[in-house]
Amino acid sequence: MSAAKLWSWIAFIFGFLFFFLPLIGTFEFSLRARRGVYSFDAYSNVLSDPQFRETFTYSVVMALFTIVLGVLIVAPTAFWVRLKLPKLRPVVEFITLLPLVIPPIVIVFGYIRLYNTSSYLPLTGTAFGTNILMMCGYATLALPYMYRAVDTGLRTIDVGTLTEAAQSLGAGWTTIITRLILPNVLVAVLSGAFLTFAIVIGEYVFAALLNRPAFGPYMVWMGGNRAYEPAALAVIAFTITWACMALIQLATRFSKHTRAQR
Amino acid sequence: MKHTTKKYIGAAMAAALMLTTALPAISYAGAMEDLEAAAKKEGMLTTIALPHDWCGYGDVIAGFKAKYPEITVNELNPDAGSADELEAIRANKDNTGPQAPDVIDVGLAFGPQSKGEKLIQPYKVATWAEIPDNVKDADGFWYGDYYGVMALGVNTDIIKTMPADWADLLKPEYANSFALTGDPRASNQAILAIMSAGMARGAEPGQTSGEKGLEFFAELNKAGNFVPVSGKSGTIAQGQTPIVAAWDYNLLAWRDGLKGNPPMEVIIPSGSSLAGVYVQAISAFAPHPNAAKLWMEYLYSDEGQIGWLKGYCHPARFNAMVAAGKVPQELLDKLPPAEAYNKAVFPSVEQQGANKKAVTEGWDKVVGAEVMK
Amino acid sequence: MTTNHSQAVRPLRPPISMNWIGAVPFMLFALLFLILPTFHIVVGAFRTPDGSLTLVNLQGLAAPNIMSAAWLSMKLSLLTALLGCVTGLLLAMAITRGGLPSWFRDATLTFSGVASNFAGVPLAFAFIATLGRLGLLTVVLRDWFGVNLYGTGFNLISFTGLTLTYLYFQVPLMLLIITPALDGLKREWKEAAESLGASGAQYWRMVALPVLWPSLLGTFALLFANAFGAVATAMALTGSSLSIVPIILFAQIRGDVLQDPHLGYAIAFGMIVVTGIANLVYIVLRSRAERWQK
């Protein structure tokens, strides 16, 4: 074995240990709920906790709404910019990179100061308004990923020719977007959607400062008040993130097959 | 004739006397019904900073909900400190939404502060007379609700020798072990823990206890024994904060909650015993003032006070209720031993205020700047 | 709008203005929920409570506790970015050209995708469960190897512990970004260098590293910004008493612990400046690096 190969193996093993030991450790810790014996008590405590169900449902529903909002804002815009406003592309791309630059805590601080009850748009005045505000905040956080996914998807299909062909056959804009563009970028949209889902489920800062009963603050609260349930929650959260990524992989592989069939 | 007139006058006076003593009760009962009706019309009560295992608030809130099912209880941020509660009122002055708290439960020193900033409104509950004078505001703005003494909670799986007092905590065997329950700039429990440490060094309660306490914590931090984490039952059990200074009622509730896995011991410092009082108040901008008043009536009723007692707290009307025989013996037995309370020091409002000022302004300078290594 | 005054020649529908409408929803959304809030914060950093312009808030940033928090945040971000870069580069080299089985690469990249999103609260729990006082690794080291981890002075709630935790999402991010760059190192260059008599080390020093340099530096800046703004992991690990900048801002927003409402604006502004500069460096260097990848 050459020296390079030896060092590669050593590096890989170290990397493997660093990344898998915490996962194993978390799982083992979550099994310690019953003194002296390994059991799944922590998991049953968590899953039967009504607060878990409430906050988890809230976050899942919020994630779904965020995905819909994100798709509705990003997909038509990306399509339109590519087709009709190519000069605007750099501006739009810069805007979609802003959420990665500005820390989320600053964004939510801005929301609290800007949209309180003494402003033009008193969103934090009601629970419903705050939910809307948080949904828009989450859509903003997911904007870079959603836009990049959809834009990559649009790049692979020749938007200009397809649209012209459809228009020459008499299709209106709605038909073009819903029956021509969306099905072709569905895979890209799906991967953006799963990423958004993973982000929203674990998000903490927005939910904590806007005082909404989401999953993130629930997890932090559990971390301070329970001994073994937080580890169980971490395992559940990791499994969900893994499932989202696996679904993205599956969706991309599925699309490759449909492409090949043509 | 004179006799009968006298008898009639006597009877009339007796009747008048009975009526005047009965009238307040009758008018009170009427007022209570009006209050209940108004509160039910408002339909919601927003509380803040009430963890369910703090003085048995979980059961207290459940009892309120069972008694008044028409009123939804909206619980904000259970981990908020006293300063966070005041900030929540300030930030939601014009807000009638669910982020605005109706009622607050803060440390004694925060009562005058919130009165001065005009954040709270006065209200005197029916049992006002039974609350001791030194823990309530004469105008009715804030009123003491319960008290306990500062103690140390220890995870006995990790720590093998128990500390007996504050001074022991400086020993090298307690490296990376001790934590407060929150930010000393915001949490009343943390501020009074520092006061307790200062008093253990011989300082009088007030500004000197704050200063000596901060010195102690600076030494603790330099020795490497202080962990800058908010200690709670979870962090005690998971091992980040094996020793935490908190109110005895909290430590006892956490010990019960952990059910021996891991086992926890509650130690009251042998030197001096610091008693801390919390006070209730209604926000001046409360979106649901009648529900807030009803909540206060409930808390200060026998039912509410016993609810706190079950959470190991001594409620404000404790002495009056024990004298009237309203407290079951089993509950009295479960409370922490009385010696700690007999020699406990109850700092006055002014002393607590001076201590709070010294701590909140001095923490960053004396300790905070080097908290993280 | 149009400067064409001739009625006869004006087209029926000026195409430009209609097209701009299509971009309106996105612009409105970005304006309301991204640009205006940030602008409000930036402006607020320069205003007093009565609305006049001032530099007092920014001067308030010079307070010792905020300066030490800023220094701590910088140290933490720089160290995790540096370690993340080096470790990520070594791992990326191992899986792309280290002669390992080919499926290692895909598996590692997939896992990196998951791990870089695992940041936040669950990550803190995972590290407490592994390296905490009662964590698996601590117990194993104590019982199987006789090593008392905490006796050596190690503590998860310390600079070292936090660095380790942050690396869990920094290294995968580096892996994901640098692997395509490593792929861009054409095989022909190595062969050409070898045919001219260069050793492996010389190839790296004179060909590969200069090509990779913009990517490396750029990703370093990105990792720095990533660590600087991270708040959930640190909060879940330590509660709100750790003195790093995002946590101070959090405590200030929640409880006005600094007893000066406008200082929050200044802190937020400071954060934007730091992460803004770091991201600018990344973007500039990335466009330079892409020259080689064409």
**A245/C271 Cβ within 8 A:** no
What number of H helices and E strands is found in chain A?
Answer: 12, 0
Does B126 have pLDDT greater than 50? yes
The Cα A182–Cα A159 span in angstroms is 11
3-state SS of A172-213 is CHHHHHHHHHHHHHHHHHHHHHHHHHHHHHHCCHHHHHCCCC
Distances (CA, A) of C59 to B105, C73, C90, C263, C267: 35, 19, 43, 9, 11
> Across the interface, which of A73, A101, A198 has its CB nearest the CB of C279?
A101
Does A139 have pLDDT greater than 70? yes
Best of C18, C73, C111, C125 to disrupt the A interface (most A CBs within 10 Å) is C125
Cα Rg of chain A, angstroms = 23
Quick one: pLDDT at residue A81? 87
Least confident of A197-201, A232-236, B332-336: B332-336
Quick one: pLDDT at residue B243? 95
Which residue has better confidence, C80 or C287? C80
The band of B373, judged by pLDDT with boundaries at 50, 70 and 90, is very low
In this predicted model, what pLDDT tens digit does every residue of B260-305 receive, in sequence order?
Answer: 888 999 998 888 889 989 999 999 999 999 999 999 999 999 999 9
Q: How many residues does chain B have?
A: 373
Q: Which residues of A touch C19 (CB under 8 A)?
A: 80, 84-85
Q: Please, which chains are in contact with C (at least 3 CB pairs closer than 8 A)?
A: A, B
Give the DSSP per-residue string, B26-40. HHHHHHHHHHHHHHH
The Cα B100–Cα B89 span in angstroms is 6
In this predicted model, what pLDDT tens digit does every residue of C188-226 receive, in sequence order?
Answer: 888 888 888 888 778 888 888 888 888 888 889 889 988
In this structure, are residues C125 and A26 in contact, taking their beta carbons and an 8 Å threshold?
Answer: yes
User: Mind telling me how many Å the CA of B232 is from chain A's nearest CA?
Assistant: 6
Q: Please, which chains are in contact with A (at least 3 CB pairs closer than 8 A)?
A: B, C
In this predicted model, what pLDDT tens digit does every residue of C4-49 receive, in sequence order?
Answer: 454 555 555 555 567 778 788 899 999 999 999 999 988 888 887 7
- Percent of residues, chain A, with pLDDT higher than 70: 95
Best of B244, B254, B261, B264 to disrupt the A interface (most A CBs within 10 Å) is B261
In this predicted model, what pLDDT tens digit does every residue of B231-249 receive, in sequence order?
Answer: 888 889 988 899 999 999 9
Quick one: pLDDT at residue A157? 80
In this structure, are residues A171 and C212 in contact, taking their beta carbons and an 8 Å threshold?
Answer: no
Quick one: pLDDT at residue C10? 54
In this predicted model, what pLDDT tens digit does every residue of A214-255 receive, in sequence order?
Answer: 998 899 888 888 888 888 988 988 888 888 888 877 877 776
Quick one: pLDDT at residue A191? 82
Quick one: pLDDT at residue A59? 93
Quick one: pLDDT at residue B245? 95
C11: amino acid identity, one letter: P
Does C151 have pLDDT greater than 80? no
Question: Which burial class, exposed, middle or buried, applies to A40 when counting CB atoms under 10 A from its CB (0-12, 13-18, 19+)?
Answer: middle
Best of C105, C121, C123, C280 to disrupt the A interface (most A CBs within 10 Å) is C121
**A125/B95 Cβ within 8 A:** yes
Quick one: pLDDT at residue C234? 86
The band of A206, judged by pLDDT with boundaries at 50, 70 and 90, is very high
Helix axes B349-366, B207-222, angle to 10 degrees: 30
Quick one: pLDDT at residue A138? 95
Does A261 have pLDDT greater than 90? no
User: Taking the CB of residue B355, how many other CB atoms lie within 10 A of it?
Assistant: 27
Mean pLDDT of A23-36: 88
C 110-139 residues with CB below 8 A of B? 128-129, 132-135
Does C258 have pLDDT greater than 70? no
Cis amide linkage into residue B262, ω under 30° from 0: yes
**C255/B81 Cβ within 8 A:** yes
Does B17 have pLDDT greater than 80? no
Which residue has better confidence, B180 or A170? B180
Least confident of A178-187, B215-224, B327-336, C163-172: A178-187
Quick one: pLDDT at residue C15? 53
B44: amino acid identity, one letter: M
Quick one: pLDDT at residue C16? 54
The band of C286, judged by pLDDT with boundaries at 50, 70 and 90, is confident
Mean pLDDT of A87-100: 87
- Percent of residues, chain C, with pLDDT higher than 70: 90
Does B25 have pLDDT greater than 50? no
The band of A178, judged by pLDDT with boundaries at 50, 70 and 90, is confident
